[in-house]
Chains A and B, each alone.
Chain A
């Protein structure tokens, strides 16, 4: 991939707040996420040159082939995985803060207690994040309603369908109102309606000034909803600038086509 600076794809602007309940729970903050020269590895592969900066309202779409290391990169950014080198810095209103204070992760696999109900999961993670009971109850009510889980709150996770689990997971991820939300394949196994439903929610959160990093294979939706992109290819991380340059150079019309061509080429090369 040869980066070229003269290409642009559908640019996302921070959305306006659609849901007054969510809006009411959080005030817009000046959040900054700065990842510098990060390198990480998992088993046989290594991903390097991970550098990007996100500010409030940014939605970064992380793309790459299956097994390229997207989850590894996300886990490294949130601190679940120790990086080989590099740094991840966050600040709110110019004040440096610990990543784990502001981050919300929804991993690829469901990450809830399977034998507990949605409400119990929400309650437990609220308590872990030291959220007051009243606030938690209010947020839970809003989130469950917003995610269409109002009537499933007392169901155990193991009793839920894949889509419901994903939404329940999202509810728990958002319960402490993280400034930076990282979603690893949030749409896997979801139908179109649910995908749209979640995108709408994410755009709302983005409009509140939250930084969202999302990895997905659904390039069309990504292109439509993300304002920044990053690509992992052959162990290298390409940030938004590099990707734009490359797209420009390749004269591709949109990101989806560019990546499809790129992945096909990569697959044929392998």
Chain B
């Protein structure tokens, strides 16, 4: 080090006394850093002019639009053409046309030549409209849910009514059953009676036949006997015996009387039998009528049974309806406890930015307030600050990249092109000291703006840099060292100032691109992204984010540190080899 220190001193003094180098590599970068950081608006996106065309018959008024989009500087237009004309004159960023009334149609014409800021505006408008949509949907869903709950309550009433109908049907079925039973009993009784009557009539009929036969036999026998008697009497009359004749005449008279009486009796019997026959006939007719009644009763019983079956069917259907209503109740019964926002968003995507939450907690703990008590205004400011915080590392590392490579380039070129270089080279064993002097001088020069940036990051952007200083310092040291070595390597290799600076510019663009500062590494092709992800600036940026935002320790970024150490080691070897090669060529 005894030889390194004077060389570093010479290099630093040479740098600091050269106002051009100080201006170019210290003042300008610091001014640039200051300007970049000053350009950040902690309040987020400033009001941007946007034209609005309101449908006079629509749901939204210009005032409502103004209230909904407080971050827009809204001008009202009567026609879209006028707004688009202003848009083309760069007076408006977008034209929002609000038309219709349930559904409301919002059309946004935007100036896509103003990327990427226009996307932020569109995104914010979209977010606001999503919010309005959500509110409207929630209101509609609330109304729908209320109606549905009322309907479900009506369903309960219907169900109760059906239950009553069911009970009544049970009563009807029971009554019908009773009636059927009663009718069946009566029918059976009548049937039995008719059967008995039928049997009696049959008995009567046989008795009638028997009586009729007996009458005819009796009459025939009687008349025969009387005829005989009369014939006998005639024989008597022919006799002379008066007594006989008398008696004969008397007998004959009596026989005639008997015959007449028998004839009368026979007629009467015949008449009675005929009447009896008529009665039997009547009875039979009645029996037939009774049977006809029985058939009518049977028919009625069948009808009643059908009615009962119908009642059962009705009951089954009523029960089915009841069950359906119960199912509807079960299905929609929980709707009164439903959150309308859940209904309109059955799948909820909740984006939880890990660092933002952490930052909010930290802010809450620093200000001794509950996270939930953070006001909307504070939250929005916080979000803007968090956005700036997440932007800071990228800008910081871009600056580190530029400064490290340019300063080391400059210092190295100043060294190798210095008039004193020839004399220095004559000093024994100065090779490594010369290299170290370039590295140390560059490092000491770069560290000034880097510290300034870190202070700004800590105190202005509220990133906990000082709290994680050991890790960040280590990362910074490794990255700056590697970049210094790369810059010095280029300078040693090319040596000529103008060409070196030209090549360095390309090299810087190359590094800027591959470090993902200009184009996301995630969008690069597999091979390039693999290469880019392993570049020192990208490794350091990732590790810095882990440490500064999530408070990771050295252990958690050991792989990143190892990768940077490897980069640094490779760079040292490469630079020494280049320097040796250049010396050899001379």
Interface residues of A (CB under 8 A from B): 75, 78-82, 98, 100-101, 103, 105, 107, 109-116, 120-121, 123-125, 127-130, 156, 172-173
Say yes or no: A109-B419 contact (C-beta < 8 A), given A80-B426, A100-B427, A115-B17. yes
Q: Does B523 contact A (CB under 8 A)?
A: no
> 19 additional contacts, CB 8 Å, given A103-B426, A113-B419?
A79-B426, A98-B428, A100-B426, A100-B427, A105-B422, A109-B419, A111-B421, A111-B423, A112-B423, A113-B10, A114-B418, A114-B419, A115-B14, A115-B17, A115-B18, A120-B13, A128-B430, A156-B17, A172-B423
Whether B423 pairs with A107 at a CB distance below 8 angstroms is yes
Chain B, residue nearest A75 (CB):
B422
A124 CA / B7 CA spacing, docked (Å): 7
Whether B422 pairs with A127 at a CB distance below 8 angstroms is no
Chain B, residue nearest A157 (CB):
B419
Whether B426 pairs with A78 at a CB distance below 8 angstroms is yes
Whether B3 pairs with A128 at a CB distance below 8 angstroms is yes
- Chain B residues with Cβ under 8 A from A110's Cβ? 419
Chain B, residue nearest A110 (CB):
B419
Chain A, residue nearest B430 (CB):
A128
Whether A123 pairs with B6 at a CB distance below 8 angstroms is yes
Say yes or no: A80-B586 contact (C-beta < 8 A), given A114-B419, A128-B3. yes
A173 to chain B, nearest CB (A): 8
Chain B: number of interface residues, binned into ranges: 20 to 34
For B419, B421, B424, which residue has the most chain A Cβ atoms within 10 angstroms? B419
A75 CA / B425 CA spacing, docked (Å): 11
Whether A80 pairs with B427 at a CB distance below 8 angstroms is no
Chain A, residue nearest B421 (CB):
A111
Whether A80 pairs with B13 at a CB distance below 8 angstroms is no
Q: Does B535 contact A (CB under 8 A)?
A: no
Interface code B422-456, partner A: CB below 8 Å = 1, 0 otherwise? 11111110100100000000000000000000000
Which 4 A/B pairs are nearest by Cβ-Cβ distance? A127-B6, A115-B17, A124-B6, A100-B428
Chain A, residue nearest B17 (CB):
A115
B63 to chain A, nearest CB (A): 67
A127 CA / B18 CA spacing, docked (Å): 23
B15 to chain A, nearest CB (A): 8
Interface code B566-586, partner A: CB below 8 Å = 1, 0 otherwise? 000000000000000000101
For B7, B420, B423, which residue has the most chain A Cβ atoms within 10 angstroms? B423
A255 CA / B428 CA spacing, docked (Å): 37
Q: What are 17 of the A-B contact pairs (CB < 8 Å)?
A: A75-B422, A79-B426, A82-B584, A107-B423, A111-B419, A111-B421, A113-B13, A113-B418, A115-B14, A115-B17, A121-B420, A124-B10, A127-B5, A128-B3, A128-B430, A130-B2, A156-B17
- Chain B residues with Cβ under 8 A from A75's Cβ? 422
A-contacting residues, B397-414, CB 8 Å:
none
- Chain A residues with Cβ under 8 A from B421's Cβ? 111
- Chain B residues with Cβ under 8 A from A173's Cβ? 423
- Chain B residues with Cβ under 8 A from A101's Cβ? 428
A74 to chain B, nearest CB (A): 11
A127 to chain B, nearest CB (A): 4
A247 CA / B427 CA spacing, docked (Å): 38
For B3, B421, B428, which residue has the most chain A Cβ atoms within 10 angstroms? B428
A107 CA / B423 CA spacing, docked (Å): 8
Chain A, residue nearest B584 (CB):
A82
Q: Does B59 contact A (CB under 8 A)?
A: no
Say yes or no: A81-B586 contact (C-beta < 8 A), given A113-B14, A114-B14. yes
A17 to chain B, nearest CB (A): 26
A130 CA / B433 CA spacing, docked (Å): 13
Say yes or no: A112-B420 contact (C-beta < 8 A), given A81-B586, A103-B426. yes
Whether A124 pairs with B428 at a CB distance below 8 angstroms is no
A106 to chain B, nearest CB (A): 8
Whether A129 pairs with B427 at a CB distance below 8 angstroms is yes
A120 CA / B420 CA spacing, docked (Å): 12
A127 CA / B2 CA spacing, docked (Å): 7
Whether B427 pairs with A116 at a CB distance below 8 angstroms is no
Whether A124 pairs with B17 at a CB distance below 8 angstroms is no
- Chain A residues with Cβ under 8 A from B2's Cβ? 127, 130
- Chain B residues with Cβ under 8 A from A128's Cβ? 3, 6-7, 424, 427, 430, 433
Chain B, residue nearest A108 (CB):
B422
A21 CA / B13 CA spacing, docked (Å): 31
- Chain B residues with Cβ under 8 A from A130's Cβ? 2-3
Chain B, residue nearest A125 (CB):
B423
Q: Does B206 contact A (CB under 8 A)?
A: no
- Chain A residues with Cβ under 8 A from B428's Cβ? 98, 100-101
Chain B, residue nearest A100 (CB):
B428
A107 CA / B425 CA spacing, docked (Å): 12
Chain B, residue nearest A103 (CB):
B426
B358 to chain A, nearest CB (A): 49
Whether B586 pairs with A82 at a CB distance below 8 angstroms is yes
A81 CA / B513 CA spacing, docked (Å): 40
A139 to chain B, nearest CB (A): 16
- Chain A residues with Cβ under 8 A from B422's Cβ? 75, 80, 105, 107, 111
Q: Does B209 contact A (CB under 8 A)?
A: no
Q: Does B313 contact A (CB under 8 A)?
A: no
- Chain A residues with Cβ under 8 A from B420's Cβ? 111-113, 121
- Chain B residues with Cβ under 8 A from A105's Cβ? 422-423, 426
A77 to chain B, nearest CB (A): 11
- Chain B residues with Cβ under 8 A from A81's Cβ? 586
- Chain A residues with Cβ under 8 A from B430's Cβ? 128
B522 to chain A, nearest CB (A): 47
Whether B419 pairs with A112 at a CB distance below 8 angstroms is yes
A-contacting residues, B13-29, CB 8 Å:
13-14, 17-18
- Chain B residues with Cβ under 8 A from A103's Cβ? 426
A114 CA / B20 CA spacing, docked (Å): 14
B414 to chain A, nearest CB (A): 9
A221 to chain B, nearest CB (A): 25
A125 CA / B421 CA spacing, docked (Å): 11
A9 CA / B480 CA spacing, docked (Å): 62
Q: Does B9 contact A (CB under 8 A)?
A: yes
Chain B, residue nearest A42 (CB):
B586
B58 to chain A, nearest CB (A): 73
A75 CA / B422 CA spacing, docked (Å): 9
A110 CA / B420 CA spacing, docked (Å): 8
For A121, A127, A129, which residue has the most chain B Cβ atoms within 10 angstroms? A127
For A100, A124, A127, A156, which residue has the most chain B Cβ atoms within 10 angstroms? A124
- Chain A residues with Cβ under 8 A from B7's Cβ? 124, 128
A187 to chain B, nearest CB (A): 18
- Chain B residues with Cβ under 8 A from A111's Cβ? 419-423
A124 CA / B418 CA spacing, docked (Å): 14
A124 CA / B424 CA spacing, docked (Å): 10
Chain B, residue nearest A115 (CB):
B17
